[in-house]
Homo-oligomer: A and B are copies of this chain.
Amino acid sequence: MTETNVKPFNLDFDLVTGLSKSTKSTKRHLSKMKGMYADDAAFAAAVQSGDPLVYEFYELDLPETSGNLLFGTSIVYPGKVGNEYYMTKGHFHTILETGEVYYCLSGEGAMLLENPEGDWDLQRFIPGQAVYVPPRYAHRSINLGTEPLVTFFTFRADAGHDYGTIETKGYRKLVIEKDGKPEIIDNPKWK
């Protein structure tokens, strides 16, 4: 959208499924996440046997100015690659000093956060829990449950997405299932 005067508008996002009837989502199948999961053999096998939909989210088309906000839902489906839970790619904002708000509508999971200084954190998502992603923090949603993890997010329209840093370096930490419970481990692939 190039027009600079935005008019009021509305959009529906189902409070349970996160899906919208009025706009189309962007879908991420597992094959688009090559190298991001620790277990390469399990990854290859899962891609081969159907390339599952791992997550989807909504992207609005508003002028990318600092006064506008983009919003929508993110839906991470339940599942694992080896013992690692389904998750989003995760990203920094191109304008690193911009934060983001996530509000969990349904499902169970966590937000994995880390900044370039090496501080990291894991914040829990349960329905009704808001998580604040401060400026400078990369953020990735992880489904730790058996239902879709649905969050509603809002961020500055000019923030931009830097996926490349995570694609190249990876996250410092991973969340895997051990003895039936989530556990945080060092990422063996982290550079």
Contact = CB atoms under 8 A, between A and B. Distances in A.
A93 to B, nearest CB: 9
Contacts of A156: 66-67, 69, 156
Q: How many copies does the complex hold?
A: 2
A15 B120 CA distance: 28
A134 B12 contact: no
Measured as residues with beta carbon below 8 angstroms from the partner, the interface class of chain A is: 35 or more
Given A67-B135, A69-B155, A8 B113 contact: yes
A154 B111 contact: no
A132 B71 contact: yes
Contacts of A100: 69
Contacts of A98: 67
Interface stretch (A27-35, A84-92, A123-131, A172-180): A123-131
Contact of A71 (B13, B65, B103): B103
Given A127-B15, A154-B71, A132 B101 contact: no
B123 A14 contact: no
A106 to B, nearest CB: 9
Interface in A9-40: 9-15
Contact of A10 (B14, B68, B105, B124): B124
- CB-CB nearest 7 A-B residue pairs: A154-B154, A6-B134, A67-B97, A67-B135, A8-B121, A71-B101, A101-B154
